[in-house]
Amino acid sequence: MMSINFNEQPHRRRNILTGEWVQVSAKRNQRPWQGQQEDIAFPDKPKYDETCYLCPGNERAGGVKNPEYSTTFAFTNDFSALLPETDSVEMNEKDLLVASTEKGICRVICFSPRHDKTLPEMEVDHIRKVVDLWVDEYHELGSKPFINYVQIFENKGEMMGCSNPHPHGQIWAQETIPEEPAKELRQQSYYYQKHGTTLLGDYLELELEEKDRIVTQNDHFVVVVPFWAFWPFETLLVSRRPFGRFTDMTDDEKSSLADIIKKITTKYDNIFNISFPYSAGFHPAPTDGEEHPEWHFHMHFYPPLLRSATVKKFRVGYEMLGNSQRDITAETAAELLRQKSYTHYIETNHNH
């Protein structure tokens, strides 16, 4: 079997989780890595901001006052995109105008009472409390008969459309399985039917043998730059044990998840010495009452930055009309992430 020279030959890689292809052209990017280190040494964010709608004790846009929370805090989004009480209506005019109503619940989760602490700057014990809240929300929302998928995510940084620097994430829980997890459900099901093992379990085994795309790991989780990564520093966080639900996690796994999140987000911030923007989120099994032995718990990080703290990758032109495409190979990105320290640059700066 002839092998592809990833750095020389433009090629396509298959995203086995979605079934879609990504075009890779490393040659476009053969010049040496010029990732600038833009030192923003001590970003001066206040611990508490009286104008922030997420800080403890403050009033939100809808007029409700936040409690004086001391760890984490979740509330129903004051501007929810989905509502639980919607009559069920299906529309189909001549197979041309097709629509249906959608029920759902939107939640906002504050990770910390501190306005200035992002995930990599929090203690692992505190991140563990965020994990516990995700587990509780997944359980509570997923137990409702009309909720078949619980999408937990975080938009971090203005570049990703995040509305407020206070560390927070969102949950959209809904009737239909959304498009991205729906593709993954199809792909994971095919694989499981054919091989009797989970797609991501086998993929992880292969990555652990090859080592090229591994970024970091602990007792229960591994982070890789997936072979088919689209975003420059995209990563996939996978559980070593095949399980599907947040509620399947053991106590040790929950603590390990907190630990690995701290590790990967710290490495991200250390790439350009800035608070690294991304959209990240979990793909747990659907909450539709099915067993889902095919589903393998994982999390995606999609950061938009490419060459410096300000140079963003845009999904435009050929990518909007033709195909997703990347320049730096997954292997190069993994190598760069591997080299980055587990100590946050702000801490490093303070110690000098």
By annotation, the residues acting in catalysis are 168
52 binds, among ligand H2U, Zn ion, none (CB under 5 to 8 A by kind): Zn ion
How far apart are CB 135 and Zn ion at their closest, in Å? 24
How far apart are CB 302 and ligand H2U at their closest, in Å? 14
How far apart are CB 59 and Zn ion at their closest, in Å? 12
Number of residues that bind ligand H2U (CB under 6 A): 13
Contact between 158 and ligand H2U by CB under 6 A: the answer reads no
Contact between 162 and Zn ion by CB under 5 A: the answer reads no
Q: Which stretch binds Zn ion (CB under 5 A): 89-97, 161-169, 191-199, 303-311?
A: 161-169
Among 16, 17, 55, 162, binds Zn ion (CB under 5 A): 55
52/311 with CB nearer Zn ion:
52
Residues numbered 33 to 72 that lie near ligand H2U (CB under 6 A) are: 53, 60-62
155 binds, among ligand H2U, Zn ion, none (CB under 5 to 8 A by kind): ligand H2U
Q: In 3D, which of 292, 249, 269 has the Cα closest to residue 345?
A: 269
Q: Which stretch binds ligand H2U (CB under 6 A): 28-36, 162-170, 173-181, 251-259?
A: 162-170
CA distance 258 to 107: 21
Contacts with Zn ion by CB under 5 A lie at 49, 52, 54-55, 115, 166
Contacts with ligand H2U by CB under 6 A lie at 53, 60-62, 77-79, 108, 155, 162-164, 170
